[in-house]
Amino acid sequence: MKQFIAAFVLSAFFIFAAIYGLILAVDPYNKFGYNVFGFETKAVSFARENKYNQVEHAKQKYTAFIMGTSSAHRYYTKDLNRLTGLVSYNYSTQSATPEDYIAMTRHIFTKYKPKLIMISFGFEDLNKFTVTDDMFYSSPLKKHLQEVPAEELERSLFNNSYLTLGAIADSLNVIWVNLFGKARHAYLEHGDHIVEPTDKTLMLSQAGYSEYEIDPKRIEYLKTLKKICDENGTKVVVLTTPLSLEHLNLIRHNPKIAAQFEKYKMTLVEIFGELWDFQHDGIAPYSTLEYFRDSIHPNHHLSTLVLEDIFGTAGPKIGKLIKK
């Protein structure tokens, strides 16, 4: 019996050390900057760690930043550079919320003096029932969210992004890709995103909207963000990220959610003065696989059209500018 307990404790200890050691050595999210095995790429799922480090250590003096959720991954920085004459970085991350945007803004101003910040908003971003992504709390961005006391941001001793099943899977993925596959650079230089192969059908996301309420805390974060930018003479351009027509219909199917949908846009107009709206029926001709990866993620093609609408000289074709 004693042997059983001893074997349990020892095996647990060594297996834990081996797994955690492997994760640290692979460092899949570039948390510590280790690369023991000299891997060409880190096939990560989460952008926050990587992009934070890229912004922190970049040699370029970026003058424009793109923020948003995964739906903003496909704005090419070269397109924004071409259209604005600025040097841009795409700071968008999966499941971003205004907590990310304010923290990113503060982080950016510690290093750069940007002339432009573009934020691509999703409907869920302002929803009180959309919780802050766990990965935000385990990323260095959290230290820039001064509104929340440090102890509330702290997770338990072991709760960091490397003590997860996801970290094990990602580490194995990194090893697999580097040893047997083709290096897949998820995030390229300047925060750009790789071009992924598309599905053969436009999949309507099963994500519905059962509960929605605009979060007053997030409104305050955005007001602060605007204030910081105004004080530094930085222009803020905000837009609603394109949604396919079928997804728009899904939102408008429920009258309560539809009312919140309008309120969310008006709230953004109220805070930022103007809003480029891409979430309207005018998206109908673009609701195909030529322009969308799925119903909520525009592909590179549509993302480029969005940038041209806002910053180009030909005038908008899809977007509608709503002013206060």
Count of C-beta atoms within a 10 Å radius of residue 227: 10
In terms of CB distance, is 15 or 195 closer to other proteins? 15
Report the alpha-carbon distance of residue 279 to residue 242 in Å, rounded.
5
Select from 57, 149, 156, 233 the one that contacts other proteins (CB under 8 A).
Answer: 156
CA angle 84, 121, 64 (to 5 degrees): 25
In terms of CB distance, is 134 or 274 closer to other proteins? 134
Six-digit token string for 237: 């351009």
Q: Which of residues 118-137 bind other proteins (CB under 8 A)?
A: 134
Q: How far is the CB of 132 from other proteins (least distance, A)?
A: 13
Q: How far is the CB of 178 from other proteins (least distance, A)?
A: 19
In terms of CB distance, is 105 or 295 closer to other proteins? 295
Report the alpha-carbon distance of residue 252 to residue 168 in Å, rounded.
40
Q: How far is the CB of 206 from other proteins (least distance, A)?
A: 5
46 with 93: CB under 8 angstroms?
Answer: yes
Q: How far is the CB of 211 from other proteins (least distance, A)?
A: 8
Six-digit token string for 168: 């094990």
Binding mask 166-205 for other proteins (x = CB under 8 A): -xx------------------------------xxx-x--
| Selected range binding other proteins among 59-67, 152-160, 295-303, 309-317, rule: CB under 8 A | 152-160
Picking from 243, 249, 257, the residue whose alpha carbon sits closest to that of residue 213 is: 257
Binding mask 272-301 for other proteins (x = CB under 8 A): ------------------------------
Report the alpha-carbon distance of residue 270 to residue 223 in Å, rounded.
10
- What three-state secondary structure class fits 159? coil
Q: How far is CA 154 from CA 47, 276, 294, in A?
A: 20, 36, 35
- Total residues binding other proteins (CB under 8 A): 37
Q: How far is the CB of 109 from other proteins (least distance, A)?
A: 31
Q: How far is the CB of 93 from other proteins (least distance, A)?
A: 18
* DSSP secondary structure letters along 23-77: HHHH-TT-SS---TT--S----S-HHHHHHHHHHH-SS---EEEEESGGGTT--H
Q: Does 208 bind other proteins (CB under 8 A)?
A: yes
Q: Does 12 bind other proteins (CB under 8 A)?
A: yes
* Contact residues: other proteins, CB under 8 A: 1-12, 15-16, 19, 134, 156-159, 163-165, 167-168, 199-201, 203, 206-210, 250, 253-254
